[in-house]
Amino acid sequence: MPTSRRTFLQSGLQSGLSAAGLTAFAATRAWGANDRINVAVVGVGGRGRDHVTEYAKISGARVYALCDVDQANLERATALAKKLTGEEPKAYRDMQDVFADKEVHAVSMPLPNHWHALATIRACQAGKDVYIEKPACHDPFEGRQMVAAARRYGRIVQVGSQGRSVTHKIRAIQMLHDGVIGNVYLAKGLCFKRRKSIGHTPVEPVPAGVDWDKFLGPAPLIPFSKNRFLYNWHWFWDTGNGDIGNQGVHEMDIARWGLGVDFPTSVVASGGKYGYDDDQETPNTLLARFDYGGREIVFEVRGLQTGGEGDLPLSREGCIGNLFYGTEGWMSLDGGGYRIYKGDPATLVDSAKLEDADRDPTKPHMENFLAAVRSRKPQDLHAGIDIGRISADLCHLANISYRLGGEKLAFDPKLERFADQRATELAHPAHREPYPIPALVS
């Protein structure tokens, strides 16, 4: 079974935190039933405007402020928020100004991956609760600092792993843990998502209204190119984690949840960027294996055209979901539902479909976040930072093995360390001044 939050809070990771920090929740304001929580959305590109749209639907939330380093994004999101709510939110270009605003109670941050840790830590230090998009962190070092910040400063931090708030997925995972297919020995995550070539884009002047230095933040300062900006930042190591850390982290989280595990004892991953000659650095094909001693997670990324696997549905976008194999049968689980097969030969014995209320899981996941903001109980979160950062770290471990040529790497699950120094360096890369990630815990 998964490690409980109580066990986690008592683990060595928290040993360096003060008792005062662990009891800071008691000093936070009490919320009345009719009080609205002022939310600032930081990063209002495509996914950010989704955040604006969903918070506007939640009666207990107020879209109070918006922030973006791109003036055009900020103007579009401001117009959207006013249309949806009738109120014009405050507009900021620098997240530090958002964090300094005492009227902001919580921040929701669909930022590029390389900003997740620093933005979360700064927000926690400023006394804000945080909804941070997946993956929780850009590298394993960052994830530990985010957990430490949430605990030290007594903040509620939810990761945007919306699958944890989907009714049929919650039910399916509970059935796995109850032994519906016997002892589960293999969880497989599939990210067969069609990705077309991004081509080549030249170095050019920074567009008007864009603060390129702030966009790069902790990442190295490099010249502007369109492929390094907007969505395609996902495909460069300095700012993204490839599709295993983009779409794939959702399935990795479900695989780990279903198998009931945290860190493995070893990881090996191989693949490549096949078929394209373009600017992308991350692989579009990747196969990873995580060993848990008698159990394993296997994860596969395919960005090119492909067929499906198991009985997971194949759409125009590809095949995305999870397969679980046990000693008495197997289960497939995806956004549309679950199917359970048992017997020899295996036949369908149970299934469930997506419920209407879960068709867009972002809203219920945000409602869960806001409920925990009110209760001040991190254990009420469906995907707290302690959960989200481990799922993200598995993606990072796979990428590290891939970047070292597909070597099998030993990993200490208690100390959360590689035996290989080269891997350790990739797990804790340098961050650019003046944007270092504070080391709150070793």
pLDDT, tens digit, 9 for 90 and up, residues 209-248 = 999 999 999 999 999 999 999 999 999 999 999 999 999 9
Confidence of residue 404 (pLDDT cuts 50, 70, 90): very high
- Write the CB contacts of 42 (distance below 8 Å, at least 6 apart in sequence): 48, 66, 67, 68, 95, 98, 107, 108, 109, 111, 119
Cα–Cα distances in angstroms (integers) from residue 205 to residues 209, 216, 248, in the given order:
12, 15, 33
Q: According to the model, what pLDDT value does residue 3 have? A: 39
pLDDT (average), residues 292-309? 97
Model confidence at 163: pLDDT above 50: yes
pLDDT (average), residues 94-105? 98
Q: According to the model, what pLDDT value does residue 22 have? A: 40
- Write the CB contacts of 216 (distance below 8 Å, at least 6 apart in sequence): 114, 222, 239, 432
Nearest to 305 by CA among 269, 275, 335, 277: 275
Model confidence at 24: pLDDT above 50: no
High-pLDDT (> 70) share of the chain, %: 93
The region of weakest confidence among 7-16, 38-47, 209-218, 425-434 is 7-16
Cα–Cα distances in angstroms (integers) from residue 332 to residues 181, 298, 383, in the given order:
11, 14, 22
Residue 267 near residue 404, CB atoms below 8 Å:
no
Confidence of residue 5 (pLDDT cuts 50, 70, 90): very low
CA distance 214 to 194: 31
Q: According to the model, what pLDDT value does residue 15 have? A: 35
Count of C-beta atoms within a 10 Å radius of residue 148: 23
Residue 420 near residue 404, CB atoms below 8 Å:
yes
Model confidence at 298: pLDDT above 70: yes
Q: What is the average pLDDT score of the chain?
A: 93
Q: According to the model, what pLDDT value does residue 28 have? A: 62
Q: Which tokens is 138 given?
A: 């850009």
pLDDT (average), residues 369-381? 98
Q: According to the model, what pLDDT value does residue 375 have? A: 97
Q: Which tokens is 393 given?
A: 């770290």
Distance from the Cα of residue 384 to its chain's centroid: 10
Residue 311 near residue 304, CB atoms below 8 Å:
no
pLDDT, tens digit, 9 for 90 and up, residues 43-81 = 999 999 999 999 999 999 999 999 999 999 999 999 999
Residue 381 near residue 158, CB atoms below 8 Å:
yes
CA distance 321 to 384: 22
What structural domains does the chain harbor?
5-162+361-384 (3.40.50.720), 165-358+392-427 (3.30.360.10)
Q: According to the model, what pLDDT value does residue 270 have? A: 98
β 329-334/337-342 pair status: antiparallel
Residue 209 near residue 71, CB atoms below 8 Å:
yes
Task: Please report where in the chains the tokens 């609760």 appear, as a residue.
Answer: 129
Residue type, 228: R
High-pLDDT (> 90) share of the chain, %: 90
Model confidence at 21: pLDDT above 70: no
Q: Which tokens is 342 given?
A: 């048992």
Q: Which tokens is 174 given?
A: 């509970």
Q: What share of the chain is helix, strand, coil (3-state, %, to 5)?
A: 35, 20, 40
Count of C-beta atoms within a 10 Å radius of residue 381: 26
Give all strands (DSSP E) within 146-232, no chain letters.
Answer: 157-159, 184-193
**Angle between helix 46-56 and 362-375 (nearest 10):** 60
Q: Which tokens is 110 given?
A: 């669909």
Q: According to the model, what pLDDT value does residue 20 have? A: 38
CA distance 266 to 115: 28
Q: What is the largest CA-CA distance in the chain?
A: 64
pLDDT (average), residues 377-389? 98
Q: Is the dihedral of CA 114, 137, 276, 191 positive or negative?
A: negative
Model confidence at 287: pLDDT above 50: yes
Q: According to the model, what pLDDT value does residue 30 have? A: 74
